[in-house]
Structure 1
Amino acid sequence: MREILPALERWYAAGVPFGLATIVAVSRSAPRGPGAAMAVGPDDEVVGSVSGGCVEGAVFELAQEVVDSGEARLETFGYSDEDAFAVGLTCGGEITLLVRAVTAATEPVFGAVAASVAAHEPVTLATVVDGPAPRGSTLAVWPDREAGTLGTPGLDVAVTADARGELALGATVLRHYGPRGERREDDVSVFLQSFAPPPRMLVFGAIDYAAAVARIGDFLGYRVTVCDARPVFATPKRFPAGVEVVVDWPHRYLSGTDTDGRTVICVLTHDPKFDVPLLREALRRPAAYIGAMGSRRTHDERIARLAEAGLADGELSRLRSPLGLDLGARTPEEVAVSVAAEIVALRWGGSGQPLTATSGAIHPPAAG
């Protein structure tokens, strides 16, 4: 929903009802994952998408019907190959959509959620998908407060606790509860859509490779910072717009910077006086990925220096070095692609092999 938020905020502020279709469940190989959204507003304006164009026409009509009736709908679209004229996914997957009408009257928490998302403030929007609780009812959960209701106090309490847990992970999931929030029951399905701030990518070493890595990191949705102790290299004009450039000793900057389980750290300094103190700091803090550039000889020497600096085997095993997948990359841009490929594969559990050499689902279900 994040990418279509400006249009949704505009319609909501104007008091204009709009139909919002959100993917709440996916099975097998589907084009888009849970949380992807499409909305139909005034004058039949459409923003967003929920597939590669396979079902958008049907969703457009559903959204119009929901706005007219005010009743939320739950619809599933599956494989359509047996009938060339059937509405469905040609990829063999299946998506389940919750389609609801949104207005200030029906969804009073939406404005506050939209404002938080726009301001990069963490928030989870919990929405009843199915069950005895009112379908489409919403509860917004922030780290320090909540607003709205899903119908019963017990359900609100249980969902609030789970929503904060998922928010800490930046996860979007479908959960099941009893009518009053009982665990291990599945009468009520609730979709928890987390809007965590963008993950950070910290790039150390303001070289040509750093500019390419920063560019692709920005493209992937990271909030990118490039840091180098040399002011002649660490200048904003050498990097894409929107990338933060910091002049500081890398280890000192990292020691004063918060990281979490989604943070990506790319060490491109290629100089022991920078690398060793920086990696000593990096390998002892939370991060999703810690990679360092260099030859295999450089890697061996770096590991030896880090061991001498007191890092244990478990800490050293977190280092991805030489960083990137084996693509035969030569140019800075090609190396950036190989680094991005490794980060994506690590995030989703990909093998890094060509798809032609694998079998089974292309997009296996996410863990959790």
Structure 2
Amino acid sequence: MHEVLKTVARWQAAGIDCALVTIIRSTGSIPRPVGTLMAIARGGTVVGSISGGCIESDVFHIATEVMDTGNATVRRYSADDAGAGSVALMCGGSMEVLVQRASTEDLPGLELIADSVAAGRPVGTATVVSEGAHLGRSIVVTGASWAGTCGDPLLDAAVSARVTRHLETGTVTTVQLGGTGDCAGDTLSVLISSIARPPSMLVFGAVDFAHALVRTAKLLGYSVTLCDARPVFATPERFPEADDVVVMWPQDYLKNAAITPSTAICVLTHDPRFDVPALEIALRSDAGYVGAMGSRRTHTDRIERLRDAGVTESELSRLSSPIGLDLGAATPEETAISILAEVIALRRVGSGMRLGQISGPIHPSEPDRTDSRDLPGTATGNRQVSGT
């Protein structure tokens, strides 16, 4: 999301005409979830995607018209669209997309998104998605301020308060509000999207596997810290992709580390002097994922040492060891994918099985996201759980 909006902000600064496309509603199985963005610049440059390719060409032509007229529009795509000249969504579900011009007048404040993401601060957007005079009106909200308008000062204040409550969730939801911000009228649908602080990964052990894991985790948007007690191995030169390289005993670092449910802890040392004291703390923390590398023999020995140290069976059940999924990984790079696959499966409540061996939709169906109560902290996306 933020990469697309960052590109739009750059186009705005350069004076390039552009349009923004947002999935605002869906039913059944669709390739991308509600809130997914795609941007199109005058001249043909496209960033992002809203489907597997079956509707992008049609959306491109609509975006060109919207850039010419300045009038936002909503289009619906469905697997049932089979008429002459129509564009069908091949995955079996249906979606509605909002196409709007993305000039600084239409979408002000996008630079706040790039600044907030760069600083590791949460940021959110709110867009009116019900058809009418306010369609496409948007605001960008940080913890301290907002920019833009949804069409009415009272509505802006109400929407800003709603977005603020969602800043740390990293979720997408739709709320129903009256034209001046009250809940009674239910006249406007407002899509709220938030970009939470990036998830963090703590990697212990400056080994070859750590090189690959740090690089791959960064590609997935993690803020990564590499920690090792050996100053010769734990250097920024050896781990240039890491956000931070710390020379410290793992348990000493963990005692004061900020650990949340969005933290993944990966212990790659397979040395009891390092990993047992670190895992004692990690398994009693709020971390969403705790994994440790090692053979099955190492794992058995480690479990006994942790029991001797007083770690309970409930705490031990949180440990992913040997770390990762069974992908047949042989190289450090393949092992990194194995580890992150397990992290993703835990986060998204996936089975980790081959898709061809399980039934049901490939893409999780989207539930009804309309919620007039707008409960704070509620995860509205299917399979969305607190975790890494």
With the length of structure 1 as denominator, give the TM-score of the two structures.
0.88
Contact 1:132–1:179 (CA under 8 A) maintained in structure 2 = no
Which stretch has the larger CA shift, 316-325 or 295-304?
295-304
Tell me whether 1:329 sits opposite 2:329 in the alignment. yes
Q: Classify the secondary structure of the residue corresponding to 2:245.
A: strand
Which stretch has the larger CA shift, 169-178 or 82-91?
82-91
Partner of 1:319: 319
Q: Classify the secondary structure of the residue corresponding to 1:235.
A: coil
Equivalent AA in structure 1 for residue 353 of structure 2: Q
1:165-202, Cα deviation, whole Å (9 max, x unpaired):
32212223333334444559754221112122322111
Task: Return closer, same or farther for 1:144/1:304 CA change in 2, 3 Å cut-off.
Answer: farther
Tell me whether 1:344 sits opposite 2:344 in the alignment. yes
Partner of 2:146: 146
Contact 1:174–1:190 (CA under 8 A) maintained in structure 2 = yes
Partner of 1:53: 53
The CA deviation at 1:125 is 0.8
Equivalent AA in structure 1 for residue 106 of structure 2: T
Q: Classify the secondary structure of the residue corresponding to 2:43.
A: helix
Equivalent AA in structure 2 for residue 36 of structure 1: T
Q: Percent identity over the alignment?
A: 49
Tell me whether 1:71 sits opposite 2:81 in the alignment. no
Contact 1:324–1:335 (CA under 8 A) maintained in structure 2 = yes
Partner of 1:356: 356
Equivalent AA in structure 1 for residue 331 of structure 2: T
Partner of 2:202: 202
Looking at structure 1, the residues matched to 45 and 97 of structure 2 have their Cα atoms a distance apart, in angstroms, of 19
Task: Return closer, same or farther for 1:334/1:151 CA change in 2, 3 Å cut-off.
Answer: same
Looking at structure 2, the residues matched to 196 and 166 of structure 1 have their Cα atoms a distance apart, in angstroms, of 9
Contact 1:109–1:138 (CA under 8 A) maintained in structure 2 = no
The CA deviation at 1:123 is 0.7
Task: Return closer, same or farther for 1:284/1:157 CA change in 2, 3 Å cut-off.
Answer: farther
Which stretch has the larger CA shift, 174-183 or 185-194?
174-183
Tell me whether 1:286 sits opposite 2:286 in the alignment. yes
Task: Return closer, same or farther for 1:332/1:362 CA change in 2, 3 Å cut-off.
Answer: same
Looking at structure 1, the residues matched to 5 and 179 of structure 2 have their Cα atoms a distance apart, in angstroms, of 31
1:302-348, Cα deviation, whole Å (9 max, x unpaired):
33433443444443332222221122333323322221111111111
Task: Return closer, same or farther for 1:64/1:82 CA change in 2, 3 Å cut-off.
Answer: closer
Partner of 2:129: 129
Q: Classify the secondary structure of the residue corresponding to 1:43.
A: coil
The CA deviation at 1:85 is 5.7
Looking at structure 1, the residues matched to 94 and 192 of structure 2 have their Cα atoms a distance apart, in angstroms, of 19
Partner of 1:89: 89
Contact 1:77–1:89 (CA under 8 A) maintained in structure 2 = yes
Partner of 2:217: 217
User: What is the count of residue pairs matched by the alignment?
Assistant: 368
Contact 2:23–2:50 (CA under 8 A) maintained in structure 1 = yes
Which 4+ runs in 1 deviate beyond 6 A?
none
Partner of 1:31: 31
Partner of 1:263: 263
Contact 2:214–2:242 (CA under 8 A) maintained in structure 1 = no
The CA deviation at 1:84 is 8.6
1:273-322, Cα deviation, whole Å (9 max, x unpaired):
21122122222333221111123443344334334434444433322222
Which stretch has the larger CA shift, 266-275 or 175-184?
175-184
Task: Return closer, same or farther for 1:4/1:156 CA change in 2, 3 Å cut-off.
Answer: closer
Contact 2:6–2:111 (CA under 8 A) maintained in structure 1 = no
Contact 2:203–2:266 (CA under 8 A) maintained in structure 1 = yes
Consecutive unaligned residues in structure 2, runs of 5 or more: 367-380
Partner of 2:191: 191
Partner of 1:248: 248
Looking at structure 2, the residues matched to 30 and 215 of structure 1 have their Cα atoms a distance apart, in angstroms, of 30
The CA deviation at 1:262 is 1.7
Alignment map for 1:93-104 (pairs within 5 Å):
93-104=93-104
Looking at structure 1, the residues matched to 133 and 275 of structure 2 have their Cα atoms a distance apart, in angstroms, of 55
Q: Classify the secondary structure of the residue corresponding to 1:326.
A: coil
Task: Return closer, same or farther for 1:245/1:85 CA change in 2, 3 Å cut-off.
Answer: farther
